[in-house]
Amino acid sequence: MHSFLSQDSYDTVPIKRAFPANWFYGSRFYFFPRLYLSFCQLGKSARGGLLTSEQQTFYSEKNFRIIEQSGAQIHLRGLNHLSSEKGPFVLVGNHMSSIETAILNAIISPRIDFTYVVKNSLFKVPFFGRAMTAINAIGVNRTNPREDFNVIMDEGKKRLQNGCSVLIFPEATRQNNFQPEHFNSIGTKLAKNAGVKIIPFALKTDFLTPGFFSSEFGPLHPENHIYFEFGEPMAISGTGKEEHLKIIDFIKTKTSEWGKKDTSQSGTPSLAKDR
């Protein structure tokens, strides 16, 4: 079990890459089959709508190990903020790749009971859809913003009133670089409406980038470290505009800092060529 489950921060200790990963030069041929198998096992556990928090953490931590064994170096900060106060909370952050959904449960579930806001099409994905149903995720269509807003407000408030935190990616779609103009204020609105605090988080997961034929099966970039950082819980005052701007500034500052760090470490731009 990873030490980050009981610590406030975590950094991957460089390890010898698993033999198959070396053989395939750290390629997708090692990474994706193992990750897919993990999601299959998760889906089977979720059959019938049953999936415990312990199972979520177990399979998410398994994904964590697979990613590290594929050459990734992962850095976690601010984990203490997830348990510094009694929730539930609304959690909001930027969205970059499927790495997030693969490992966020390992990071968050031991500290907070939470669920996701996801697009409805994900409920139809084999195995993964079962898991989303089992954790009572909130589905939106992303074709009618007003309708989606009402669903998140109504269903999100219900989850929060039942003690379940709600995690939202306000950008809706994955972005290679954080774009504040696409980061809407749905999180602060839900937190204000439900009378709970909001926890911002920033991430950089371009270890995996979109592929030419599929955004899900892209190239791996071990030179791009994986970063997650959680901020302090914030109460929403007034319209929530001030808190929304603080969240944007937090994410913008962190992603910029990490991008410069990766560039200085590798001597090349953060998004490297396909490999």
Assigned token pair, 215: 């955004």
Confidence check: pLDDT of 267 > 90: no
88: preceding bond cis by omega (within 30 degrees): yes
At the topology level, CATH places domain 3-266 in Glycerol-3-phosphate (1)-acyltransferase (3.40.1130)
Handedness of CA 57, 166, 144, 218 (dihedral sign): negative
DSSP string, 155-224: HHHHHHHTT-EEEE-TT-S--SS--GGG--SHHHHHHHHHT-EEEEEEEE-TTB---SS-SSS--B-TTS
Strand residue runs (E) in the chain: 10-11, 74-77, 89-93, 114-119, 138-140, 165-168, 197-204, 226-230
Which residues partner with 4 through β-bridges?
none
Domain residue spans in the chain? 3-266
pLDDT tens digits, 95-150:
999 999 999 999 999 999 999 999 998 888 888 888 898 899 999 998 898 999 99
Assigned token pair, 92: 């909001």
pLDDT tens digits, 143-193:
898 999 999 999 999 999 999 999 999 987 788 889 899 999 999 999 999
Contact 122, 99 (CB under 8 A): no
Confidence check: pLDDT of 215 > 90: no
What integer best gives the mean pLDDT of the chain? 87
pTM of whole model > 0.85?
A: yes
In which region does residue 127 sit, left (phi positive, over 0), alpha (psi from -120 to 50) or beta (all else)?
left
Phi, psi angles (nearest 5°) of residue 231: -95, 175
